């Protein structure tokens, strides 16, 4: 099968990986060389399905729970950091911590002593926190580069020129925010971030600071570099970070640790996250085009599951029955639970795990080796003949 993938962000590259692993000949079309214009370049890279459940539907938890395993199998050894996530709040915002806990699972509540043991730089600064031990993180820029280099090594061609789509059996559209205004219901959510560099703070894992107005996450990148983000503004403006957002992110970083006041501001950036009304992604096939969009703020978390759905649709293999068993509060997710699907499937499709297991695929490379359209204004995601599953699964939406 010859496949053209439009878009070289995280959705396009993970889809390319899954298709190549099943024997497809893949070409990737990119608007510009490199990743500078991709929203993925400005991502936090947090593989945090339990934390994301605080504001996301259950599908994000179920489908994102295996993301760390996928990335660990694909990227060079040591690329996935399995140190968990720490969620903290100043004493005056203790209610925010309780609210967060009431909406999540997979954590344990810890006190000041354990906070200091996990993150010595935060010793004595917070009285209580939530620790999510099963979560992980990657450096998105290294991950994207390694994934691309590995695909090139396997013969995938990246092209920025004019491409004749008629040469291909299938097109996969992963162009994200570029489709705003073309795909019904797709909107932009602006995200702004910055990088700080300081040798006075050391963190081993992402730390989320809760605040009623300005929540913050800080992700260590090594060498005293920290990614701080991110705003969520209902806008498709991809312009530079605003003064207000810069001030609020810096203020929040200072609340987490005063040493950030003396940190060097080495980079700022903004990207537009494509999202639908429910903030869940969509995968749909129409004729010889599969369209992937709406990953919102969950690109690195959900793209492995989305890529598997793309491959299933490409080879006409139904996905697994979407009937998960959610975890109890404070407990982890059972590895045996089924997965919710984001792909559009016909109501009469017979969905079985046996069919999924039988689909053609090649094994992933061993960890450590390092892999280093639909031009339609009328495109409808949820017409009567399609399902999209969420917490209200089983309803035609």
The answer to whether 282 touches 344, Cβ cutoff 8 Å, is: yes
**Three-state DSSP class for residue 254:** helix
Note the pLDDT of residue 36. Answer: 67
Provide the residue count of the chain.
397
Note the pLDDT of residue 343. Answer: 65
* Residue limits of CATH 3.40.50.720 in the chain: 2-72+140-183+278-358
Note the pLDDT of residue 71. Answer: 98
- Beta-carbon contacts of 367 under 8 Å, excluding residues fewer than 6 positions away, are 72, 73, 75, 76, 77
- Return the closest-CA partner of residue 15 out of 373, 303, 246: 303
Query: What CATH superfamily classification does 2-72+140-183+278-358 receive?
Result: NAD(P)-binding Rossmann-like Domain (3.40.50.720)
Note the pLDDT of residue 35. Answer: 74
Q: What CATH class does 85-133+187-275 carry? A: alpha beta
Note the pLDDT of residue 211. Answer: 85
Token pair of 86, please? Answer: 């720490």
355 phi, psi to nearest 5 deg: -65, -40
Averaged pLDDT in 10-residue chunks for the chain of 397 residues: 97 98 96 77 96 97 97 98 98 95 98 98 98 98 96 96 94 97 97 97 98 90 96 95 96 97 97 96 96 98 97 83 42 35 46 37 33 31 31 30
* Residue limits of CATH 3.30.9.10 in the chain: 85-133+187-275
Note the pLDDT of residue 344. Answer: 54
Report the C-alpha dihedral over residues 313, 308, 304, 75, rounded to 10 degrees. Answer: -130
């Amino acid at each position: 099968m010859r496949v053209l993938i439009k878009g070289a962000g995280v959705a396009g590259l993970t889809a390319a990986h899954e298709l190549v692993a099943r024997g497809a000949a893949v070409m990737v079309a990119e608007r510009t060389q490199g990743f500078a214009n991709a929203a993925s370049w400005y991502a936090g890279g947090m593989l945090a399905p339990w934390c994301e459940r605080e504001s996301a539907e259950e599908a994000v938890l179920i489908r994102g729970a295996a993301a760390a395993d996928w990335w660990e199998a694909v990227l060079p050894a040591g690329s996935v950091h399995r140190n968990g996530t720490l969620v903290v709040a100043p004493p005056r915002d203790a209610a925010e911590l309780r609210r967060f806990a009431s909406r999540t699972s997979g954590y344990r509540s810890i006190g000041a002593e354990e906070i200091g043991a996990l993150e010595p730089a935060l010793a004595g600064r917070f009285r209580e926190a939530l620790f999510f031990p099963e979560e992980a993180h990657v450096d998105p820029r290294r991950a994207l580069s390694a994934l691309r280099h590995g695909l090139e090594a396997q013969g995938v061609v990246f092209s920025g020129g004019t491409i004749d789509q008629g040469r291909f059996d299938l097109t996969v559209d992963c162009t994200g925010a570029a489709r705003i205004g073309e795909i019904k219901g797709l909107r932009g959510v602006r995200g702004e971030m910055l990088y700080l560099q300081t040798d006075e703070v050391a963190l081993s894992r992402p730390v989320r600071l809760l605040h009623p107005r300005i929540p913050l996450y800080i992700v260590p990148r090594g060498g005293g570099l920290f990614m701080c983000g991110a705003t969520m503004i209902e806008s498709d403006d991809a312009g530079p970070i605003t003064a207000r957002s810069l001030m609020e992110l810096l203020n929040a970083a200072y609340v987490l640790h005063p040493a950030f006041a003396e940190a060097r501001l080495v980079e700022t950036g903004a990207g537009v996250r494509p999202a639908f009304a429910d903030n869940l992604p969509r995968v749909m096939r129409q004729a010889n085009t599969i369209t992937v969009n709406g990953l919102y703020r969950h690109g690195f978390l959900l793209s492995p599951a989305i890529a598997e759905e793309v491959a299933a649709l490409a080879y006409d293999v139904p996905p697994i029955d979407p009937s998960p068993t959610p975890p109890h509060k404070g407990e982890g997710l059972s590895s045996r639970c089924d997965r919710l699907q984001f792909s559009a499937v016909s109501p009469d499709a017979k969905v079985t795990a046996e069919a999924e297991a039988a689909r053609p695929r090649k094994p992933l490379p061993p960890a450590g080796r390092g892999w280093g359209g639909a031009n339609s204004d009328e495109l409808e995601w949820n017409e009567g003949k399609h399902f999209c599953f969420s917490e209200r699964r089983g309803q035609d939406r």
